[in-house]
Amino acid sequence: MTLSEKQTIDNKAYIVDLASLYAQELVNEVLPFWVKNSPDSVNGGFFTCLDASGKVFDTDKFMWLQGRQVWCLSYMYHHLKPEQQWLDMAIQGADFMLKHGRDNEGNWYFSLDQMGRPLVQPYNIFSDCFATMALAALDRVCPGKGYGEVAVETFDNIIARRQNPKGAYNKNYPGTRPMRNFSLPMILCNLALELEHVIGSDAVNAFIPEVLHEVMDIFYQPELGVILENVAEDGSLVDSFDGRLLNPGHAIEAMWFVMDIGHRIGNKKLIAQATQIMLNTLQKGWDNEYGGIFYFLDLHGHPPQQLEWDQKLWWVHVETLVALAKGYQYTGNQDCLRWFMKVHEYSWQHFRDDKNGGEWYGYLNRQGEVLLHLKGGKWKGCFHVPRALYQIATTFNPRVFNRP
Amino acid sequence: MTLSEKQTIDNKAYIVDLASLYAQELVNEVLPFWVKNSPDSVNGGFFTCLDASGKVFDTDKFMWLQGRQVWCLSYMYHHLKPEQQWLDMAIQGADFMLKHGRDNEGNWYFSLDQMGRPLVQPYNIFSDCFATMALAALDRVCPGKGYGEVAVETFDNIIARRQNPKGAYNKNYPGTRPMRNFSLPMILCNLALELEHVIGSDAVNAFIPEVLHEVMDIFYQPELGVILENVAEDGSLVDSFDGRLLNPGHAIEAMWFVMDIGHRIGNKKLIAQATQIMLNTLQKGWDNEYGGIFYFLDLHGHPPQQLEWDQKLWWVHVETLVALAKGYQYTGNQDCLRWFMKVHEYSWQHFRDDKNGGEWYGYLNRQGEVLLHLKGGKWKGCFHVPRALYQIATTFNPRVFNRP
């Protein structure tokens, strides 16, 4: 389906076609790629460093991606269809994680070698976030095996480490310029809803106002119209490299988490606000010269310290598509649909691998050419593309996966 | 002087013209840029985040660059000409460093704010390397003020921390996959000669065989013809992202350090070997499609984990020019001169800022377009460009700075 040919984009049939397109891509291309190429049948867990054809080019196991794949397979088993192979694979991944993934304090390592021996210490709390997300999702489809208990323990540990998530690995000198980073509050917005069946609705209800406050009152800057990636303790702008940093993909992804929270708590105003922030961010982050969304920008237009600032990354684009689809469905805002078309065309043209099929490419240069010929790596696994395809398909047509 | 017009590149007059070109660029453009725009006359030390016109866009002070600028000004005062302004500026920079730069154990912070308050802890030993280099160079032109003593103390501290330079900030799990990194041995090759007047010739003579062994026997891989950026404890290849990493600029820069050591100890075979390794690395690192030298490559051609792998960086190119100039002068190898022409043309065309003059740009995309419109930043200061211009000018004509 080439979408640029369409004259009238705002019609029901067209949206339903889009839903089918995303559903088919998920079921026929992306999930089979990971199921076929990723499992390590010798040691357990998943290989994620896969080249364009799916061949393993590096055997290290990165805990973010182990957790994310267990989550994805469990989620698809629950929501898409009860495919036994997906469940078996999620279980073997979780068992590898539980056997090798934690230090003596229960913190999740950053990476292991293929045998499961620890390589990089738990310097980073996001391994824990994706582990808890994984084990909670698996617990829902495979209850009574203890996965939920470890999910809750890990979640409690995240909350306890929340004020200083890097612990002893924090390189900042205390006190000179204390700053808060957006990543954890953003992930907690999503985690809150993901964990509901293990921590209970009351805990989620109590947690939501807190994470919403952090995202919408601390990191969102109404007078600037943007979400900053790092702010002072009181949420104000710090005029430094970190303080001026914009990460449009992060802000946009967070806005669909907030829309989902708004939907859950029945707050239309919040949904409308998140939609507007998302559209502003997209406008600001869009590369008018070559198309696509920049990875990083400096609020004041100074050179960012990230050398990869002008690259176009898969997760930024697919999460933007999710945010636009949800923004449209929740609010009916036509700008969401217009932008969806634009980002859809860019993404399908540049990230999708028409030659080999399977998972999408992840890293493009500013001009939109493939920069790294990989489908998975140290930071890219079975997560953003399948999750986004599922979210978009079911947002546009909740019955898309119901067979006749 | 446009060099592509030259028919015969191998002649004495031409080399002398090149020497003048590099000398003039140093004296008329690059040094004045830093002298004019960089000093912080209020708090001391240097601003290094300077835009294309020299305007300060960020005020943080990065210790690598504070040290490097003190070194550069002291070095130029000693070797180029005794310009009082350079010495005064070096002294004010060193005094700022000594007042604010160290923690209670004498380790040098990574960065300070403009007032000198510590921002980032001493997680990285290279602040110490450039501090010792700076203070030793200043001690030579301003003896008896205690600069040399701190240089020696810092050097002793580097040697003591050498086996685990990141200390508590080392994120690797001990024992699973121990690896050695090339950066420190490489810098020690240069530091050994830089410190001779403070640590004495006997210490340098004792130190040289050790650093040479590390670079040429441990990191250099004769069967592969390359220097690896990270190796196993015994110098063997580790098939992982870090183990497969090639950093052509690092390897090439190290080879001119080794040539200088070879010159000092009268070892022509060593010079010839370093020249050959440098040429092999350059051949491997050159981008045949767009010109310029890649920042990172994977030994096996897999996708590197560094997203900036295909960018063209100033220091890689100017250090390559130094290595080629020295290789030619020490050995007469005509390949060095042919390559010099090619890298010279690329560098002057792409890194030099013909519009604003002054310091060169630092970061280009693969296509050779300026990626960050800055002259200095978090990692780029008054160091590689002026040092290289000086080295090239005086290598091609040792009398280039002698006025009539």
User: Cα torsion for A105, A110, A115, A118, to the nearest 10°?
Assistant: -50
Distance from the Cα of residue B182 to its chain's centroid: 14
Q: Quote the CA–CA distance of A295 and A304 in Å, as a whole number.
A: 11
Q: Quote the CA–CA distance of A153 and A175 in Å, as a whole number.
A: 31
CA distances from B182 to A51, A139, B32 (A): 28, 46, 33
Residue type, A191: L
Q: Please report the ipTM that was assigned to this predicted complex.
A: 0.95
The structure tokens 């390897």 sit at: B251
Q: Is pLDDT of B48 > 80?
A: yes
Closest-CA residue of B relative to A170 is B169
Q: How confident is the model at residue B86 (pLDDT cuts 50, 70, 90)?
A: very high
Provide the 3-class DSSP secondary structure of residue A82: coil
Q: How confident is the model at residue B163 (pLDDT cuts 50, 70, 90)?
A: confident
Provide the 3-class DSSP secondary structure of residue A26: helix
The pair of structure tokens assigned to B348 is 């002057």
Residue type, B200: G
Closest-CA residue of A relative to B118 is A173
Task: Among A119, A366, A373, select the one facing B177 at the smallest CB separation.
Answer: A119
Q: Quote the CA–CA distance of A82 and B312 in Å, as a whole number.
A: 50
pLDDT score of A5: 47
Contact criterion met (CB < 8 Å) for A310 and B371 = yes
CA distances from B202 to A255, A348, B192, B196, B206 (A): 65, 65, 11, 9, 6
Contact criterion met (CB < 8 Å) for A305 and B378 = yes
Cβ neighbour number for residue A61 with a 10 Å cutoff: 29
Which residues of A fall within a CB distance of 8 Å from B374?
Answer: 303
How far does A378 lie from chain B, in Å, by closest CA?
7
Whether residue B395 contacts residue B322, with contact meaning beta carbons closer than 8 Å, is answered with yes
Provide the 3-class DSSP secondary structure of residue B77: helix
Which residues of B fall within a CB distance of 8 Å from A177?
Answer: 113, 119
Task: Among B176, B373, B378, select the one facing A113 at the smallest CB separation.
Answer: B176
Provide the 3-class DSSP secondary structure of residue B50: strand
* Residues composing chain A: 404
pLDDT score of B37: 98
Q: Which residues make beta-bridge pairs with A221?
A: A226
Q: Angle formed by the axes of helices A248-265 and A201-213, to 10°?
A: 140
- Chain B stretch 222-241, residues whose beta carbon is closer than 8 A to a beta carbon of chain A: 240-241
What contacts B391, CB < 8 A, 6 or more positions away? B256, B322, B325, B326
B242 touches chain A (CB under 8 A): no
Q: Please give the DSSP secondary-structure letter assigned to residue B358.
A: S
Task: Please name the residue ranges forming H helices in B165-247.
Answer: 183-194, 196-199, 201-213
Cα angle B243-A361-A290, degrees, rounded to a multiple of 5: 110
The pair of structure tokens assigned to B289 is 């499609």
Q: Is pLDDT of B1 > 50?
A: no
How far does B60 lie from chain A, in Å, by closest CA?
8
pLDDT score of A13: 87
Task: Among A120, A177, A303, select the one facing B173 at the smallest CB separation.
Answer: A120
Closest-CA residue of B relative to A115 is B176
Which residues of B fall within a CB distance of 8 Å from A113?
Answer: 176-177
Q: Say if strands B56-58 and B49-51 run parallel, antiparallel, or are unpaired.
A: antiparallel
Q: Quote the CA–CA distance of A219 and A172 in Å, as a whole number.
A: 20
Q: Quote the CA–CA distance of B131 and B154 in Å, as a whole number.
A: 8
- Give the lowest-confidence range in A239-248, B7-16, B49-58: B7-16
- Chain B stretch 84-113, residues whose beta carbon is closer than 8 A to a beta carbon of chain A: 109-110, 113
Provide the 3-class DSSP secondary structure of residue B62: strand
Work out how many CB contacts closer than 8 A connect A with B.
Answer: 98
- Chain B stretch 365-394, residues whose beta carbon is closer than 8 A to a beta carbon of chain A: 365-367, 371-374, 377-378
Q: Is pLDDT of B333 > 90?
A: yes
Please tell me the pTM assigned to this model.
Answer: 0.96
Cα angle A37-A39-A44, degrees, rounded to a multiple of 5: 160
pLDDT score of A267: 98
Distance from the Cα of residue A39 to its chain's centroid: 21
Average pLDDT over residues B96-105: 97
- Give the lowest-confidence range in A223-232, A372-381, B37-46, B198-207: B198-207
The structure tokens 């590096």 sit at: A58
Q: Quote the CA–CA distance of A98 and A92 in Å, as a whole number.
A: 10
Whether residue B353 contacts residue B385, with contact meaning beta carbons closer than 8 Å, is answered with no
pLDDT score of B40: 98
Average pLDDT over residues B59-75: 98
Provide the 3-class DSSP secondary structure of residue B46: strand
Give A3-170+181-396's CATH code, choosing from 3.20.20.450, 1.10.260.40, 3.30.300.210, 1.50.10.10. 1.50.10.10
CA distances from A207 to A52, A192, A194, A202, B391 (A): 41, 7, 12, 8, 62
Contact criterion met (CB < 8 Å) for A121 and B310 = no
The pair of structure tokens assigned to A75 is 């989620």
Q: Quote the CA–CA distance of A373 and A233 in Å, as a whole number.
A: 40
Closest-CA residue of B relative to A103 is B173
Task: Among A177, A241, A363, select the one facing B113 at the smallest CB separation.
Answer: A177
Q: Is pLDDT of B7 > 50?
A: no
pLDDT score of A12: 83
Cβ neighbour number for residue B2 with a 10 Å cutoff: 8
Task: Among B51, B169, B241, select the one facing A58 at the smallest CB separation.
Answer: B241
Q: Quote the CA–CA distance of B39 and B28 in Å, as a whole number.
A: 18
pLDDT score of A7: 44
Contact criterion met (CB < 8 Å) for A303 and B378 = no
CA distances from B250 to B115, B186, B187, B226 (A): 33, 8, 10, 11
- Best of B173, B230, B297 to substitute, by most chain A Cβ atoms within 10 angstroms, is B173
pLDDT score of B9: 52
Per-residue pLDDT of chain A (404 residues; tens, 9 = 90+): 444 444 455 568 889 999 999 999 999 999 999 999 999 999 999 999 999 999 999 999 999 999 999 999 999 999 999 999 999 999 999 999 999 999 999 999 999 999 999 999 999 899 999 999 999 999 999 999 999 999 999 999 999 998 888 888 999 999 999 999 999 999 999 998 999 999 999 999 999 999 999 999 999 999 999 999 999 999 999 999 999 999 999 999 999 999 999 999 999 999 999 999 999 999 999 999 999 999 999 999 999 999 999 999 999 999 999 999 999 999 999 999 999 999 999 999 999 999 999 999 999 999 999 999 999 999 999 999 999 999 999 999 999 998 54
Average pLDDT over residues B297-310: 98
DSSP code per residue over B208-230: HHHHHHIIIIIIEETTTTEE-SE
Over the stretch B266-287, which tens digit does the pLDDT of each residue have?
999 999 999 999 999 999 999 9
Sign, Cα dihedral of A155, A161, A163, A166? negative
Sign, Cα dihedral of A211, A212, A217, A218? positive
Which residues of A fall within a CB distance of 8 Å from B378?
Answer: 241, 305
Closest-CA residue of A relative to B56 is A302
Looking at every residue in chain B, the average pLDDT score rounds to 95
Cα angle B200-B206-B211, degrees, rounded to a multiple of 5: 110
The pair of structure tokens assigned to A98 is 């539980």
* Residues composing chain B: 404
The structure tokens 């997203």 sit at: B307
Task: Among A110, A168, A374, select the one facing B168 at the smallest CB separation.
Answer: A168
